[in-house]
């Protein structure tokens, strides 16, 4: 895989699905409709925790950087490698998995729900 190639939402969804299916086989996880929703909720909770740590609003846990290290939530000079960035990636991936499991065309939905407003931009 070319890690520098531009990502598309649909292409990313396919790649995330392949990784998730591998994970499920490797660890014996049954990915039923409830699992997709519950995993997304779990990951949103982890994102919330990482955000609180990154913005100095709670004590750090585990290998998290100390509170206040990036008070604005910035990731620093590491190209986005931070607990917060990792959790954003998890939420995005699990959102794509949930959408895919429910037959939602994310590209079409975003165009219809969000990008339709672009016509009103200056």
Instruction: Provide the pLDDT for residue 73.
Output: 46
For the 30-120 domain, the top CATH level (class) is: mainly alpha
User: What is the spatial distance between Cα 8 and Cα 10, in angstroms, rounded to a whole number?
Assistant: 6
User: What is the spatial distance between Cα 89 and Cα 42, in angstroms, rounded to a whole number?
Assistant: 13
pTM for the model stands at 0.82
Instruction: Provide the pLDDT for residue 75.
Output: 46
| Model pLDDT for residues 5-51, shown as the tens digit of each residue | 889 999 999 999 999 999 999 999 999 999 999 999 999 999 999 99
| Model pLDDT for residues 54-97, shown as the tens digit of each residue | 999 998 777 655 544 444 444 455 557 899 999 999 999 999 99
First-to-final CA distance of the chain: 38
Instruction: Provide the pLDDT for residue 71.
Output: 44
> Domain limits of the chain?
30-120
C-beta of residue 79 within 8 angstroms of C-beta of residue 4: no
């Amino acid at each position: 895989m070319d890690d520098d190639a531009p990502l598309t939402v649909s292409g990313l969804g396919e790649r995330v699905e392949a990784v998730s299916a591998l994970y499920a086989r490797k660890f014996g996880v049954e990915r039923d409709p409830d699992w997709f929703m519950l995993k997304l909720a779990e990951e949103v909770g982890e994102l919330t925790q990482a955000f609180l740590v990154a913005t100095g609003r709670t004590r750090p846990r585990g290998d998290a950087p100390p509170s206040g290290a990036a008070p604005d939530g910035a990731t620093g000079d590491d190209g986005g490698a931070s607990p917060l960035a990792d959790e954003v990636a998890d939420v995005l991936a699990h959102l794509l998995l949930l959408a895919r499991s429910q037959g939602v065309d994310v590209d079409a939905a975003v165009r219809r729900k969000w990008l339709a407003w672009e016509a009103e931009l200056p």
